[in-house]
Amino acid sequence: MSHIISLNLVNSHKERGLIMGGVKRTTVGAGILLVLGLLLVGGFVIAKSYIGSRQDSTQTGGSSAGAVQAPSRQAVIISIASSNTKQVWLADAVRTFNERSRTQSDLQADGRPVFVEVLKETIDGKQVDYRSGTMMKDTVAGKIKPTILSPGEESWIPIFKKDWRDAGNKNAISGDAPVLVRTPLVIGMWESRAKELGCWPDVKSSCTWDTIRKLASNPAGWRAYNRPEWGKFTFGYGYFGETNSGTLVSTAMCMAGVHKTKNLVMADVTVEGGCGQMIAGIEKAKIHSGKSDIWLLEKVVEGGPEYLQATVTYESNIIAANQKHAGQLREKLVSVYPQDGTFVVGHPFAILDLAPWVTKEQAKGAEVFRNFLLSKEIQEAVMTVGLRPADQKVKLASPIEPSLGALPGAKLVALEAPDVLVTQQLGEVWHKVKKKSKIVLLFDRSGSMGNANKIGAASRGAQEFVGAMDNDDWLAWMPFDTVVYADRVRGTKAEIGERLVQDISGINAEGGTALYDATAEALRQLLELRKKFGDSVRYGIVILSDGDDRNSRMTLAQLEEALKPQEHDPSGVQVHAICIGKDCDERTLQKIARAANGKYWKGSTDKEMIKIYREIATHY
């Protein structure tokens, strides 16, 4: 994508419990569907999480105990937008608080019970706690009106304050934003690889970002460590500006490149200097990106060390992955703590007491809730979900342990986040040095696409995708009906972007559908390009279709066979498949996406298509 998150004002909505723009206001704790068990910690019921629990908490108005909560008539209702890393802990804390506040005077505001609701966003059709960047954008835009913001890292609060003022508003936050929980940003890596690099279990001084850069940049790959059977090093991390982990790790790489742990300034952040070259070197090994570090970690698990060897995530997610897949992994995943710096992220609790929608009673209720979350009882429960308490003096306990891929005694070289403007400059540098892509936009223009204006919605989504790509990315426009139009507009976005958008906007629907033939032709062309460019760029096909293929000479089985080599090829062609319309052939498009390490998407409306195409762009 060619931009850092832009925050624009839109109309706000007040209706409680109504889904608007992908956001749903729900009472908590929202049902935690996937848990390993319930532990009683000082009378506080806590769900011991694993990766799926953070993604699948979708039961509206439920709790981890299964009961639906509702506020009493006299309750002071407050809401919190919170990052999803602490979703399990927060859900149970909120449920417990809401129950106790009914009768406990010390958990009330001027004698009135306080009732907390957690705001949700929709990701892959599921209601989950917010991503930090989206949380800030939606609050500034007025899409959500939280009483409390609790993003996944402290630097988001000054970013919010700046964006809020830039939108013409007065200050929204008057007080401090204390940290609720902490967790280190780590490189999740297969244990054998981490041992070879001197990063596990005894962390050597050579376990650094620079070591990762040298390995990622070396054409010989693991042969440099006398492990030729491991091939080349493969790496993944989230998209800058769209994921908290992606923004932070890019900052960590930059700071390692200029040998700093604090005071990163504008002059440090250049393409040619140590900052840009560190990121560029590590980018050579990147094969996956996206808007979720948890999804990337699952790709590590699914593909094994032959496919994806390391990804950036949080220590708590490594613990969760080992718990979830206990007995299924060939070797465990471990946390790598770079000795030239990483972020120990603190999740702040900021009360928007000066925001126009927050009353004095709600601000006071938020203070009561904050004190509850920082109480000894609730802080002790933090560790049961693999997070670290706000008080760094507290002795760490299970499950933060080596058997689950975490080193409680590891030396953490903590980095200080730079100023907001420096971070924005870093985003510009990142876009310039990241690995470029060669993408075929495969677009179904058959007659069935004219139904319910599917082609109009798809066209607007595809135009959004073009706008989101970087100028140096190579794009090919390949519409198809019975015929595959394989020689249309192609070139870098800088060269053909404007013409490509015009062609997409002028597309019409007619003819039959040769989806399999079109996909095979796109694959053939990209494999030819790969012979020339090798692994220096990334390759992808973005398919838009209703999946109703009646005209291909090739069968689905033959296409799957053609795509099969991509399944285990970390640098191969990644296929994303969008199924449009309520009547689309989901099974076919799911098979195609699954065969080539992409994702399957489904939508119908303009809004859904724009959102899907935007998100696919973050995978490149």
Domain residue spans of the chain: 23-172+347-373, 184-343+414-432, 436-617
Stretch 61-87: mean pLDDT: 78
pLDDT at 67: 56
- Indicate the range of 17-21, 250-254, 286-290, 608-612 predicted with least confidence: 17-21
Q: Is the pLDDT of residue 560 over 80?
A: yes
Task: For residue 31, give the amino acid letter.
Answer: G
Work out the pLDDT band at 11, boundaries 50, 70, 90. Answer: very low
Please return the burial class of 223, using the count of CB atoms within 10 Å of its CB with bins 0-12, 13-18 and 19+. Answer: middle
Stretch 274-290: mean pLDDT: 96
Q: For the segment 295-319, what is each residue's pLDDT rounded down to a tens digit? A: 899 999 998 999 999 999 999 999 9
**How far apart are the C-alpha atoms of 317 and 188, rounded to whole Å?**
9
Q: Which residue has the tokens 């794009």?
A: 475
Q: For the segment 316-343, what is each residue's pLDDT rounded down to a tens digit? A: 999 999 999 998 999 999 999 999 999 9
User: To the nearest whole number, what is the mean pLDDT of the chain?
Assistant: 88
pLDDT at 68: 64
Length of the chain: 620
**How far apart are the C-alpha atoms of 335 and 327, rounded to whole Å?**
19
The dihedrals phi and psi of 219, each to the nearest 5 degrees, come to -60, -25
Of 231, 243, 238, the closest CA to residue 299 belongs to 238
**How far apart are the C-alpha atoms of 334 and 323, rounded to whole Å?**
12
Q: How many helices (H) and strands (E) does the chain have?
A: 19, 22
- Indicate the range of 41-55, 96-110, 170-184, 484-498 predicted with least confidence: 41-55
Work out the pLDDT band at 37, boundaries 50, 70, 90. Answer: very low
Q: Where are the beta strands (DSSP E) in 447-497?
A: 474-480, 490-492
Cα 557 from chain centroid (whole Å): 32
Please check whether the domain covering 184-343+414-432 is classified as CATH 3.40.190.10. yes
* All residues at 6 or more sequence positions from 154 whose CB lies less than 8 Å from its CB, including other chains: 177, 179, 345, 346, 348, 417
pLDDT at 392: 80
If one counts every other C-beta atom within 10 angstroms of the C-beta of residue 61, the result is: 16
Q: Is the pLDDT of residue 27 over 80?
A: no
C-alpha angle 299-440-219 in degrees, rounded to nearest 5: 55
Q: Which of 3.40.50.410, 3.40.50.300, 1.20.120.1080, 3.40.950.10 would CATH assign to domain 436-617?
A: 3.40.50.410
In Å, how far are 82, 108, 341, 350, 354 from 175, measured between CA atoms?
Answer: 18, 20, 30, 8, 10
Q: Is the pLDDT of residue 362 over 50?
A: yes
Q: For the segment 499-519, what is each residue's pLDDT rounded down to a tens digit? A: 999 999 999 999 999 999 999
Of 195, 222, 211, 367, the closest CA to residue 278 belongs to 211
What CATH number does the domain located at 23-172+347-373 have? 3.40.190
- Indicate the range of 24-28, 215-219, 355-359 predicted with least confidence: 24-28
Please report, rounded to a whole number, the percentage of residues in the chain having pLDDT higher than 70.
Answer: 89
**How far apart are the C-alpha atoms of 133 and 243, rounded to whole Å?**
7
pLDDT at 133: 86
Torsion angle of C-alpha atoms 267, 270, 272, 277, degrees rounded to 10: 120
In this structure, what token pair is assigned to residue 29?
């704790």
**How far apart are the C-alpha atoms of 418 and 509, rounded to whole Å?**
50
Please return the burial class of 498, using the count of CB atoms within 10 Å of its CB with bins 0-12, 13-18 and 19+. Answer: exposed
Q: Percentage helix, strand, coil, to 5, in the chain? A: 40, 20, 40
Work out the pLDDT band at 183, boundaries 50, 70, 90. Answer: very high
In Å, how far are 67, 310, 374, 468, 614 from 617, measured between CA atoms?
Answer: 39, 22, 39, 6, 5
Stretch 209-220: mean pLDDT: 97
Torsion angle of C-alpha atoms 487, 492, 494, 497, degrees rounded to 10: 40
pLDDT at 344: 95
On whether the pTM is more than 0.85, the answer is no
Q: In 3-state terms, what secondary structure has residue 266?
A: helix
Please report, rounded to a whole number, the percentage of residues in the chain having pLDDT higher than 90.
Answer: 77
Of 63, 92, 39, 95, the closest CA to residue 398 belongs to 39
**How far apart are the C-alpha atoms of 525 and 393, rounded to whole Å?**
58
**How far apart are the C-alpha atoms of 307 and 314, rounded to whole Å?**
20
pLDDT at 94: 97
pLDDT at 18: 27
Q: Is the pLDDT of residue 20 over 70?
A: no
Of 249, 198, 243, the closest CA to residue 619 belongs to 243
Q: Is the pLDDT of residue 355 over 70?
A: yes
In Å, how far are 32, 295, 298 from 146, measured between CA atoms?
Answer: 22, 27, 31
Stretch 449-462: mean pLDDT: 93
pLDDT at 58: 30
Q: Which residue has the tokens 């206990």?
A: 326
In Å, how far are 214, 465, 572, 617 from 440, measured between CA atoms?
Answer: 31, 12, 14, 12
Report which of residues 30 and 397 the model is more confident about.
397
In this structure, what token pair is assigned to residue 467?
């706008």
Q: Is the pLDDT of residue 33 over 80?
A: no
Q: Are 337 and 407 in contact (CB under 8 A)?
A: yes
In this structure, what token pair is assigned to residue 615?
């998100």
Q: Is the pLDDT of residue 360 over 70?
A: yes
The gap between the terminal CA atoms of the chain, to the nearest Å, is 8
pLDDT at 564: 82
**How far apart are the C-alpha atoms of 390 and 609, rounded to whole Å?**
40
pLDDT at 347: 96
Q: Is the pLDDT of residue 24 over 80?
A: no
Work out the pLDDT band at 29, boundaries 50, 70, 90. Answer: very low
Please return the burial class of 351, using the count of CB atoms within 10 Å of its CB with bins 0-12, 13-18 and 19+. Answer: buried
Same fold, 184-343+414-432 and 436-617: no
